Amino acid sequence: MDVQSYFPIWDKLEPTHQRLILDSLTERNVKKGTVIHSGDMDCTGLLLVRSGQLRAYILSDEGREITVYRLFNRDLCLFSASCMLRSVQFDITIEAEKDTLLWVIPAEAYRQVMERSAPAANYTSEIMAARFSEVMWLIEQIMWKSLDKRVAAFLLEESAIEGAALLKLTHEAIANHLGTHREVVTRMLRYFQNEGMVRLARGAVEILDEKKLAALRDA
Amino acid sequence: MDVQSYFPIWDKLEPTHQRLILDSLTERNVKKGTVIHSGDMDCTGLLLVRSGQLRAYILSDEGREITVYRLFNRDLCLFSASCMLRSVQFDITIEAEKDTLLWVIPAEAYRQVMERSAPAANYTSEIMAARFSEVMWLIEQIMWKSLDKRVAAFLLEESAIEGAALLKLTHEAIANHLGTHREVVTRMLRYFQNEGMVRLARGAVEILDEKKLAALRDA
Tens digit of each residue's pLDDT (9 = 90 or more) over B143-162: 888 889 999 999 999 999 99
CB contact under 8 A, A87 and B139: no
| Residue B61 CB neighbours (<10 A) | 7
Question: Which of A122, A138, A144, A150 to mutate: most B Cβ within 10 Å?
Answer: A122
CB contact under 8 A, A126 and B68: no
- Chain A, chain B: beta-carbon pairs less than 8 Å apart: 129
Task: Give chain B's contact residues with A (Cβ, < 8 Å).
Answer: 58, 60-62, 64, 66, 68, 82, 85-90, 92, 114-118, 120-122, 124-133, 135-140, 142-144, 179
The whole-angstrom separation of Cα A102 and Cα A88 is 23
Give Dmax (Cα) for chain A.
Answer: 62
- HEC secondary structure over chain B: CCHHHHCCCHHHCCHHHHHHHHHHCEEEEECCCCEEECCCCCCCCEEEEEECCEEEEEECCCCCEEEEEEECCCCEECHHHHHHCCCCCCCCEEEECCCEEEEEECHHHHHHHHHHCHHHHHHHHHHHHHHHHHHHHHHHHHHHCCHHHHHHHHHHHHHHHHCCCEECCCHHHHHHHHCCCHHHHHHHHHHHHHCCCEEEECCEEEECCHHHHHHHHHC
Cβ–Cβ under 8 Å, residues B116 and B16: no
Q: What pTM value is reported for the model?
A: 0.85
B103-156 pLDDT, tens digit each: 999 999 999 999 999 999 999 999 999 999 999 989 988 888 888 999 999 999
CA-to-CA separations, B198 to B156, B165, B175, in angstroms, rounded: 11, 9, 17
Residue among B85, B92, B179 minimizing CB distance to A129: B85
CB contact under 8 A, B142 and A139: yes
Question: Which of B76, B143, B146, B147 to mutate: most A Cβ within 10 Å?
Answer: B143
Q: What is the mean pLDDT of chain B?
A: 92
ipTM of the complex: 0.84
Question: Which of A82, A86, A87 to mutate: most B Cβ within 10 Å?
Answer: A87
CB contact under 8 A, B64 and A122: no
Taking only the tens of pLDDT, chain A with its 219 residues reads: 689 999 999 999 999 999 999 999 999 999 999 999 998 777 889 999 999 999 999 988 778 889 999 999 999 999 898 888 888 888 899 999 999 999 999 999 999 999 999 999 999 999 999 999 999 989 988 888 888 999 999 999 999 999 999 999 999 999 999 988 898 899 899 989 988 999 999 999 999 999 999 999 998
